[in-house]
A and B are shown apart, each in its own frame.
Chain A
């Protein structure tokens, strides 16, 4: 067997933004959020990252890690806990492939989310963050 297997599966996206840097205004206030990603059978997504993109002409991008119980929080502007107020699209990214064990890729991470959630054009995961509100979001997603 030729082991050139690049098993980096997943991901991606679109939409044009022609500004290389500085799409984010670091002075904006952020509001803590929490969330959870579950499959329809009630089991959680156990790994991966999420990224949120605000619906604005200067989008603010935030991200966080999915914990083993499916929960997540996000940070904006590098290390500020939360999201700016308003509407956001959210993607879920799960990169698989390493580590290996004896040439076999380890898959002990439970179900994987459908790939459409990894693309801003096709994801239907949305958040509306309210200033001062309890911003908790639960998503039921399809498995791959």
Chain B
């Protein structure tokens, strides 16, 4: 399995299409990067996450860095999540400090949109290796979702 699935956007990890390019003063320039086209989803649209609920600890809504502005060219953690070994789907009761994982306040599951626009809940207890495969759009492995 490729070991770069935590690199979003122009990496092959989590899809992220809303990254603004900032200037040296951290101001948005109006240009965008990391646009991901559907043809770059080599594993297939049914095998790849497009978006998922982001873990925000209870009490941290609208609080940076847990939940910041989406159109942000710098602080990825404010709006983007990753998943795989060591970074599982987190539960709402997870203590603050685990910044990077997907997660939901729904009990036991987290909702994802796949790249084919279908939605489905994924158990928080999913094997983290499989989670990484679903986050990676070109790992070359087929995940049996059934």
Confirm or deny: B57 has a beta carbon within 8 angstroms of a beta carbon on chain A. Answer: no
Confirm or deny: A35 has a beta carbon within 8 angstroms of a beta carbon on chain B. Answer: no
Q: How far is the CA of A78 from the CA of B128 in the complex (A)?
A: 13
Q: Is B132 touching A13 in the complex (CB atoms < 8 A)? A: yes
Asked if A20 meets B26 with Cβ closer than 8 Å, knowing A14-B1, A93-B87, A98-B99, the reply is no
CB contacts (< 8 Å) of B46 on chain A: these are: none
Q: How far is the CA of A98 from the CA of B72 in the complex (A)?
A: 13
Which B1-20 residues have C-beta < 8 A from chain A?
Answer: 1-9, 11, 19
Q: Is A103 touching B26 in the complex (CB atoms < 8 A)? A: yes
Q: How far is the CA of A93 from the CA of B125 in the complex (A)?
A: 18
Interface size class of B (residues with CB under 8 A): 35 or more
Asked if A17 meets B86 with Cβ closer than 8 Å, knowing A4-B34, A6-B9, the reply is no
Q: Is A49 touching B86 in the complex (CB atoms < 8 A)? A: yes
Which A81-104 residues have C-beta < 8 A from chain B?
Answer: 91-93, 95, 97-100, 103
Question: Shortest beta-carbon distance, B38 to chain A, in Å?
Answer: 21
Confirm or deny: B85 has a beta carbon within 8 angstroms of a beta carbon on chain A. Answer: yes
Which A49-63 residues have C-beta < 8 A from chain B?
Answer: 49-51, 53, 59, 61, 63
Q: How far is the CA of A119 from the CA of B132 in the complex (A)?
A: 12
Q: How far is the CA of A53 from the CA of B144 in the complex (A)?
A: 20
Which B115-146 residues have C-beta < 8 A from chain A?
Answer: 122-130, 132, 141, 143-146
Q: How far is the CA of A66 from the CA of B26 in the complex (A)?
A: 32
User: Contact check: which of B26, B100, B146 meets A3 at CB < 8 Å?
Assistant: B26
Q: How far is the CA of A124 from the CA of B3 in the complex (A)?
A: 17
Confirm or deny: B84 has a beta carbon within 8 angstroms of a beta carbon on chain A. Answer: yes
Question: Shortest beta-carbon distance, A55 to chain B, in Å?
Answer: 14
User: Contact check: which of B73, B129, B130 meets A120 at CB < 8 Å?
Assistant: B129
Question: Shortest beta-carbon distance, A97 to chain B, in Å?
Answer: 7
A–B Cβ pairs within 8 angstroms, 30 of them: A2-B21, A3-B73, A4-B22, A4-B33, A4-B34, A5-B74, A6-B8, A8-B6, A10-B6, A12-B1, A13-B3, A13-B85, A13-B129, A14-B129, A17-B130, A20-B126, A20-B145, A23-B125, A78-B91, A91-B85, A92-B86, A95-B6, A95-B82, A98-B77, A99-B65, A99-B77, A100-B75, A103-B74, A118-B86, A120-B129
Interface residues of A (CB under 8 A from B): 1-6, 8, 10-24, 49-51, 53, 59, 61, 63, 65, 77-78, 91-93, 95, 97-100, 103, 115, 118-120
Q: A6-B9, A8-B8, A16-B141 are in contact. List 19 more A-B contacts (CB 8 A).
A: A3-B21, A3-B73, A3-B74, A4-B19, A4-B22, A4-B34, A4-B73, A12-B84, A12-B132, A13-B129, A13-B132, A16-B129, A21-B123, A49-B86, A51-B128, A53-B85, A61-B128, A91-B86, A119-B85
